[in-house]
Amino acid sequence: MSFLTRHDVTGERELLAVFVEQQADQIATSLYGLSHEDLGRAASASAMTLGALARHALLMIEGTVLRVQAAPEASAPAPRTPEQAAAEGPIDPSALREEDTAESLGTALREAGAALGAALLTADPATSVPIPQAPWFPTEGEWTVRWVALHLVEELARHAGHADILRESLDGKGTYELNARSDGEPWPAEWAQG
């Protein structure tokens, strides 16, 4: 997926799907070429690592897929693992797993983004979605598939920006370079050389 979100979408469902997938892809791209040690290294005054941020984003997406798939049954809680429920809270800087690699996390983020995109393509945007039970979410009211999708775009965009800062702090590589390299394109690009 390229740096820019596709613009040839034909409707609201596709637009929501494309933007969610793009933001998941941008977080995945920030991991490109990193070692396990780099994934677990805090690169700023914060204890946050790219690996923990990627794990958090992955669990948020997976939890949202379950909520969107449960949307026709708005009163039924979406089944989630304790990890998925925890992902909706503060990011755990120790969330990186021993088996995690930049490639495995990047692949998992892209697959989860595609799964959510597919769920959004089939869900009615106006359908009610179960609100997760957590102290920071309202206990009354309703969310729609549309609202959940836009909220996740907002959250993933925030985390993609955070991932950009962490990655630049690790090795100075920025978004344009990482997108080009992960897409197999040369860097520096022709336009960047002039």
| Mean local confidence (pLDDT), 44-56 | 90
Q: What is the CB neighbour count within 10 angstroms for residue 84?
A: 20
Using one digit for the tens of pLDDT, what is the confidence trace for 125-149?
Answer: 999 887 877 777 887 878 899 999 9
Distance CA 37, CA 39 (A): 5
Using one digit for the tens of pLDDT, what is the confidence trace for 22-46?
Answer: 999 999 999 999 999 999 999 888 8
Reported confidence tier of residue 1, pLDDT bands at 50, 70, 90:
very low
What's the token pair of residue 43? 């690169």
Using one digit for the tens of pLDDT, what is the confidence trace for 94-109?
Answer: 888 999 999 999 999 9
Distance CA 110, CA 62 (A): 11
CATH of 12-193, one of 1.10.3720.10, 1.20.120.160, 1.20.120.450, 3.40.190.10: 1.20.120.450
- Ramachandran bin of 184, using left for φ above 0, alpha for ψ from -120 to 50, beta for the remaining angles: left
- 3-class SS at 186? coil
DSSP E strands in the chain: the ranges are 128-129, 143-144
